[in-house]
Amino acid sequence: MKFLVLCVLAYCLTFSIVEAKVRHYKWEVKYELKSPDCYKKLAITINGRTPGPSIVAQQGDTIVVELKNSLLTENVAIHWHGIRQIGTPWMDGTEGVTQCPILPGDTFVYKFVVDRPGTYLYHAHYGMQREAGLYGSIRVLLPDGESEPFAYDYDRSIILTDWYHKSTYEQAVGLSSIPFVWVGEPESILIQGRGKFDCSKAGIIPEMCNATSPDCSPYTMTVVPGKTYRLRIGSLTALSALSFEIEGHNMTVVEADGHYVEPFVVKNLFIYSGETYSVLIKTNQSSTRNYWITAKIVGRNNTTPSGLAVLNYYPNHPKRIPPTPPPVGPQWDDLAPRLSQSLAIKSHRNFIHPPPQTSDRVIVMLNTQNNISGYRRWSVNNVSFNLPHTPYLIAYKHNLLHTFDQRPPPDDYASTEDIFSVAENANATTSNAAYRLQFNTTVDIILQNANTMTKNNSETHPWHLHGHDFWVLGYGRGKFDKINDPNKYNLVDPIMKNTVVVHPFGWTALRFRADNPGVWAFHCHIESHFYMGMGVVFEEGVDRVGKLPRSIMGCGDAKGYHRP
Amino acid sequence: MKFLVLCVLAYCLTFSIVEAKVRHYKWEVKYELKSPDCYKKLAITINGRTPGPSIVAQQGDTIVVELKNSLLTENVAIHWHGIRQIGTPWMDGTEGVTQCPILPGDTFVYKFVVDRPGTYLYHAHYGMQREAGLYGSIRVLLPDGESEPFAYDYDRSIILTDWYHKSTYEQAVGLSSIPFVWVGEPESILIQGRGKFDCSKAGIIPEMCNATSPDCSPYTMTVVPGKTYRLRIGSLTALSALSFEIEGHNMTVVEADGHYVEPFVVKNLFIYSGETYSVLIKTNQSSTRNYWITAKIVGRNNTTPSGLAVLNYYPNHPKRIPPTPPPVGPQWDDLAPRLSQSLAIKSHRNFIHPPPQTSDRVIVMLNTQNNISGYRRWSVNNVSFNLPHTPYLIAYKHNLLHTFDQRPPPDDYASTEDIFSVAENANATTSNAAYRLQFNTTVDIILQNANTMTKNNSETHPWHLHGHDFWVLGYGRGKFDKINDPNKYNLVDPIMKNTVVVHPFGWTALRFRADNPGVWAFHCHIESHFYMGMGVVFEEGVDRVGKLPRSIMGCGDAKGYHRP
């Protein structure tokens, strides 16, 4: 009998190690008054926190998030950024694409498998709610017994964001007003949800800003000297491109968007909204002091102070201010090191997923700023995107094709366009049409940047693809040359990513396999740019998508699909 | 042939005069940055305006409002305040009671008959959206050939509101926080959507407040000397009881909530949130100048400046400031004139609807402020109301009775309660149970006021009943005496109303016939009080309610009732 019990116990133990787990989370989303940068503002929290709770799981685990919407009058949806949702395209959390919004009072159950190890994110994907604080990190560990191609003693995650004092409502109203009101530069940069706004600034009501609030004491990462730390860094800025730096410590880049990188060393890491990186740092500096961690805005001329956190060498006091000034970081307008970092990121030599050597379809996407009926917009090939009222996935699957424009959006732009000047005709059209990709084909996307509506200005756009990783085949300056540039593609060891930057006046080429049945958004990860139309949608193999759960229904023509 | 055409034409003309009309309105609801009191704030507008467009119709007309929700992430619902919705209880616009909220992007069609002449209102009935500016007036005229029991030359409508600079989100978060954060007194009083906040106040950022903005030039009512004006006044304040006054002009009260009043003359009119009055004024003063119109807060000690508008005697310049200071109005804490006005409002002698002389059921409703698990709440008989997730009307009709508490709420309060002191035990419970009324019975409601959680304090509560008018049988000071007070009821010529005030430390008795099949909210019309639980719901004859339209479905257990 004793033997039997032992056997069962042993079996259970083995089983629990070997078998994938189901990880349950119960989250309540609501508004709370927070002071992440010392300035009081309503934030959207999960279980009272922003950033929300971290999801930590093992490859193959099933994540179940019971999400209760406790906002008063506002709906919600959460996207699992970097998780491909293979077989569960309805769980991607993209309002208007893969699901209807979750109503106040409703509980929506997200359930999906994290099928690859790596560093991922989650965040609201409805209106501009992400920047109200609804985000967090996902860390997927290797199965027991497997190990990374690099060694480290400790594993830490931080998320970088920028923070505005205006509400998302005010921002959205300004963006869709005539005259156009731009959101402007953020008031502060948050490192793991903490920043420091200068409360002594003119016009700040003292009761609104408390420099000593515990909410805005700088994020402190305590380290033991002589160890190696894996630091997982994600950016979910609303607007800003950042340079991340740890005073006196080089960083070895080892992971990007869930893929192992052939290691390279940087003094500062450029990171764009929607990207994640793992870097290794060695705590091999003088242990008699603390060091600054900084996040500085690059790519835009601005006066936003850099985000500051503290690398706290044990046993120094965590609140002990580093004795030296924080590193000043790179010049905001020096593009060269950013381009050079982009080019440096290649697949780890032992983990190369060889890309298909040819593609079946090439879509060139010109990124432009436009005027449409007096409104300021962003467009792809002069088509500015807007979400339909019935989510695409439901519309395709249930044959509600009248709910959005069926004329295909353009695969290229007019050859007469001059990407180096302000467009003579900045007009564009709006559409909610989708790109339909043939299932299991290989698709190339060339993201072509251009001059904005301001002379000698071109912006930085991080593009994020849902449902896939893509190979990054190349970056270039100027206008993409369809004949010669493809010859320079890296078809040997390109990194796979889900978010990639398009540099000012440059192009970025990427390739992916349309092998994940569903409908997937592909858009600039800058919150206001997507809101202003900078995105597209891909449909692929939607006929292979299983029965849609009723819980994603309830809006537009998908009303009433909840019950039989 | 010519004769035939003429005949048809004549027939059409006659027809259009005699037959009820269908009046179509196309409304788009969205956020816009407005400065109704010179201070910039996001307001919810209808077709760009707050107050929204007025509905002007004739008795018997059908109103069709196509309401497009163009808010970004927020739902909406509009209540037609004072319209009884006989036969169309699903069109009452009360989110959680008669319908699911209207999603962003959705168009909901409200369709109902205005069956009685008079002065009514419309406003948001979801969360606390009303006070964000989503409201307007409804004026229902008599059929051609019929006339009012009073004469006038011109007919004007104005709505009074109070205005906060904090968003409704911030207010709601404060109200449901521990520690409790009260909304405080409003920053200003708006007359027909215009007020004047002092932009020179300390701590006001200049760019947020523009004293010369046309949005906040005072409302001007231009009049011709020597005429009689019917002025329809409605109050939709979030909190404030008001005294309305026109410098140098007496007002003759002739209508209250759509019912003719036996005329009486006042110098100032007390008006509570949810009430409407018609007053007649004669422009018989010196026509060489303009006169102030004021709306002053009463019943609460406050420093909010009175709302100011201008009675502009033609041909004086509308912007000419009256030469005398605005009337100071009554003392805020002088209850006597308020009670006396309440008692003065009786039915016009030629338009008496005799009340039933007895009732079938008496429900006493003690109004108290309470603590529930550390949260501040308001209650009726120590039960604090909260809305269920599935609207009652749908739940009753479709037998989804598990969606809310079926234990009936109490018809009375414990006789041990002392209404004159702070309750020793201020605890209460929450419930979403409804009062079920037997169809076609007569119900008496005694609203009993009490001391709040502050010593020697009792507040003013205007209670509004949906779906009915009720007879106001009496008001009293102190504790209602069930034996003797009913003998003093006015059963001869009581006014009928849909909103009635309960004075501090007083009681108000009302009677109605439960003869309108449906589910109807009855609640304090103070936005924050209802939010904090000060309301109940009545069900009556729900088995007689016709087939519910699918458009009201889509939330809670009513998901999927949209399609067969």
Query: Which of A106, A559, A561, A563 is the best residue to mutate to test the B interface, defined by the most B CB atoms within 10 Å of its own CB?
Result: A559
Half-sphere exposure of A489 (CA within 13 A, CB side): 24
Q: pLDDT, tens digit, for every residue of A37-73?
A: 999 999 999 999 999 999 999 999 999 999 999 999 9
What is the 3-class SS of B172-217, one letter each residue? HHHHCCCCCCCCCCCCEEEECCECCCCCCCCCCCHHHECCCCHHHC
pLDDT of residue B533: 98
Strand partners, A560: none
Residues in chain A within 8 Å Cβ distance of B205: 203
The verdict on a CB contact (< 8 Å) between A101 and B104 is yes
**DSSP classification of residue A255:** E
Is pLDDT above 90 for A204?
A: no
The verdict on a CB contact (< 8 Å) between B105 and A555 is yes
| Pairwise CA distance, residues A560 & A542, whole Å | 21
Nearest to B556 among A105, A167, A561 (CB): A105
CA nearest to A359, candidates A477, A438, A476, A468: A438
CA nearest to A30, candidates B175, B33, B483: B175
C-alpha B134, offset from chain centre: 13
B169 lies within 8 A of chain A by CB: yes
B109 lies within 8 A of chain A by CB: no
Cβ atoms < 10 Å from Cβ of A24: 12
B375 lies within 8 A of chain A by CB: no
Cβ(B90)–Cβ(B385) under 8 Å? Answer: no
Which residue in chain A is spatially nearest to B559 when comparing CA positions? A562
- % chain A with pLDDT above 70: 96
Q: Write down the ipTM of this complex.
A: 0.93
What is the distance in angstroms between the Cα of B75 and the nearest Cα belonging to chain A?
A: 6
Q: pLDDT, tens digit, for every residue of A154-180?
A: 999 999 999 999 999 999 999 999 999
Query: Which of B33, B69, B72 is the best residue to mutate to test the A interface, defined by the most A CB atoms within 10 Å of its own CB?
Result: B72
Pairing of strands B276-282, B383-385: unpaired
Residues of chain B predicted below pLDDT 70? 1-18, 561-564
**The two structure tokens encoding residue B6:** 């003429």
Nearest to B173 among A33, A168, A559 (CB): A33
Residue with the two structure tokens 């830490």: A156
Cβ(A470)–Cβ(A456) under 8 Å? Answer: no
Question: What DSSP line would sit under B380-431, residue for residue?
Answer: ETTEEE---SS-HHHHHHTT-GGGS--SPPPSS--TT--TTS--S--B-EEE
B127 lies within 8 A of chain A by CB: yes
Cβ(A508)–Cβ(A480) under 8 Å? Answer: no
The verdict on a CB contact (< 8 Å) between A42 and B173 is yes
Cβ(B510)–Cβ(B342) under 8 Å? Answer: no
The verdict on a CB contact (< 8 Å) between A73 and B127 is yes
Residues in chain B within 8 Å Cβ distance of A41: none
| Pairwise CA distance, residues B180 & A108, whole Å | 29
The verdict on a CB contact (< 8 Å) between A42 and B169 is yes
Q: Mean pLDDT throughout A230-254?
A: 98
* A156: three-class secondary structure by DSSP: strand
Is pLDDT above 50 for A368?
A: yes
What is the distance in angstroms between the Cα of A257 and the nearest Cα belonging to chain B?
A: 29
A178 lies within 8 A of chain B by CB: no
Nearest to B74 among A74, A553, A559 (CB): A74
* A420: three-class secondary structure by DSSP: coil
pLDDT of residue A561: 61
pLDDT of residue A14: 46
Q: Mean pLDDT throughout A215-228?
A: 97
Q: How far is CA B235 from CA A50, A417, B232, B272, B533, in A?
A: 40, 58, 10, 6, 21
**DSSP classification of residue A525:** S
Query: Which of B532, B559, B561, B563 is the best residue to mutate to test the A interface, defined by the most A CB atoms within 10 Å of its own CB?
Result: B559
Cβ atoms < 10 Å from Cβ of A383: 23
| Pairwise CA distance, residues B207 & A327, whole Å | 35
The verdict on a CB contact (< 8 Å) between B103 and A75 is yes
Residues in chain B within 8 Å Cβ distance of A400: none
| Pairwise CA distance, residues B514 & A109, whole Å | 42
Is pLDDT above 80 for A348?
A: yes
| Pairwise CA distance, residues A293 & A190, whole Å | 12
State the average pLDDT for chain A. 95
Half-sphere exposure of B96 (CA within 13 A, CB side): 25
pLDDT of residue B4: 52
Q: What pLDDT band is residue A19 in, cutting at 50, 70 and 90?
A: confident
Cβ(B95)–Cβ(B123) under 8 Å? Answer: no
Pairing of strands B188-191, B154-163: antiparallel
A562 lies within 8 A of chain B by CB: yes
* A317: three-class secondary structure by DSSP: coil
Residues in chain A within 8 Å Cβ distance of B559: 550, 553-554, 562-563
State the average pLDDT for chain B. 95
CA nearest to B42, candidates B137, B162, B129, B148: B129
The verdict on a CB contact (< 8 Å) between A33 and B555 is no
A24 lies within 8 A of chain B by CB: no
Residues in chain A within 8 Å Cβ distance of B172: 31, 72
Nearest to A560 among B127, B169, B563 (CB): B563
| Pairwise CA distance, residues A349 & A99, whole Å | 39
Q: What are the structural domains of chain B?
A: 144-344 (2.60.40.420), 354-558 (2.60.40.420)
The verdict on a CB contact (< 8 Å) between A550 and B560 is yes
Strand partners, B377: B370
Residues in chain B within 8 Å Cβ distance of A177: 32-33
Inter-chain contacts counted by CB atoms under 8 A, chains A and B: 116
Tell me the residue type at B557.
D
A203 lies within 8 A of chain B by CB: yes
What is the 3-class SS of A445-494, one letter each residue? EEEECCCCCCCCCCCCEEEEECCCCEEEEEEEECCCCCCCHHHHCCCCCE
Nearest to A73 among B126, B554, B561 (CB): B126
Nearest to A562 among B105, B173, B559 (CB): B559
What is the distance in angstroms between the Cα of B102 and the nearest Cα belonging to chain A?
A: 10
B202 lies within 8 A of chain A by CB: no
Long-range CB contacts (within 8 A, 24+) of A247-251: A247/A291, A247/A292, A247/A293, A247/A294, A247/A311, A247/A322, A247/A324, A247/A326, A247/A327, A248/A285, A248/A291, A249/A281, A249/A282, A249/A283, A249/A285, A249/A291, A249/A311, A250/A281, A251/A279, A251/A280, A251/A281
Is pLDDT above 80 for A6?
A: no
* Partner B, chain A 46-105, Cβ-Cβ below 8 Å: 72-76, 100-101, 103-105
The verdict on a CB contact (< 8 Å) between A173 and B32 is yes
